[in-house]
Amino acid sequence: MQDLEIRYTDMLETAFNFLNDKKGVGNGTPLHPNRRAYVFASGGQCLHCGLILTKKNSNTEHIHDLALGGKNHDVNKILMCKTCNSLRNQLMQLYLGTPSFHKGFPGNWDRVKKYLLWNAITADEGHEAGNIFPQIHRLFEELLESQGCEISPPSSYFGRGNFSNLVQIKNTSKSTGFFTRIFDRLFGFKEQQIETYEIRDTQPLDLNQNDSIISPVTINPEFIIQTTNVLESIDGEINLSQFTKLFRENLLDIGIGNLTFKEYANSMGIPKSRSCIQIIDQYFDGVIGYRREGNTVFIWLNRGVLVTPMVEEE
């Protein structure tokens, strides 16, 4: 346990100071919409029971509980099924008692510490890693069994972090979702092997370089997700000007800002000289189709260009 305490020193110090100072608990919010959309589209699973996650059956879990001083940041969040999310909260109250936990501090510190470490290690290394704390882990598994949940943790799942720090252990035996197939096509991900990879923040392009050598692989994945997200919600084709209006509204809804399609593309490193159609041609080749009718341009998402879309479990 000492090695784990060193690994999670910051978390434990934050919790200790929070309980010692008797601070109030803040409100939590869900994981960022981009991150959730990617997990759902990629067939992400609950780390405890293996259930394929959807919008209807999942919740955001704060790994370092807000009631113990955790921050409401995406790096402290992970998606899991509603049942396992609820049972983790029940586990906290069974093991630590009912909030507020500062009332039992510092006498309860040893139990708080073990609970926080169990929470963190299961989120970071999977369900079975929780066996390092057998009493807590056994109690949690008993809660799962009491709800009729099969303990069937997946061999891969999406861990903590914001979208640009997404780490996934790729499991080729699982079906892939529509957005994942777009990423595989545009970014060249391979499905022939099991590998660990990370989607990192892409550095802005050098706008002084020759346009002809710019490759789609240099574009931030978030730009691909935002664009296909809007078109995925449209049945058939749409006027390009209507699409750009919907795109702006979508960015406003999720808190990114009041940006047009081109302005957002520019912020992701695409040269300002590119028109909307040139952006679609180079960065969405085969994924987004378009046609002209006089001075009007219509665009659509080629849902069948990759493979037949996966039907999500509800």
Q: Within this chain, do residues 19 and 132 fall inside the same structural domain, yes or no?
A: yes
Distance separating alpha carbons of residues 132 and 117, to the nearest angstrom: 10
Residues 6+ apart with CB under 8 A from 41: 177, 178, 179, 180
Could you tell me which residues are beta bridge partners of residue 158? 168
Residue 92 CA to residue 89 CA, distance in Å, equals: 5
Distance CA 76, CA 92 (A): 17
DSSP 121-172: HHHHH-GGGGGGSHHHHHHHHHHHHHTT------S--B-SS-GGGEEEE--T
Name the residue type at position 166: L
Residue 199 falls inside a structural domain: no
pLDDT in tens, 198-215: 333 333 333 333 333 333
Give a yes or no: residue 269 inside a domain. yes
Is 98 contained in some domain? yes
Is residue 187 one of the residues assigned to a domain?
no
Which pLDDT tens digit goes with each residue over 48-95? 999 999 999 999 999 999 999 999 988 899 999 999 999 999 999 999
142 and 22 in a common domain: yes
**Can you tell me the distance from the alpha carbon of 150 to that of 79, in angstroms, rounded to the nearest whole number?**
18
Domain encompassing residue 45: 2-146
Confidence of residue 162 (pLDDT cuts 50, 70, 90): low
pTM of this structure: 0.56
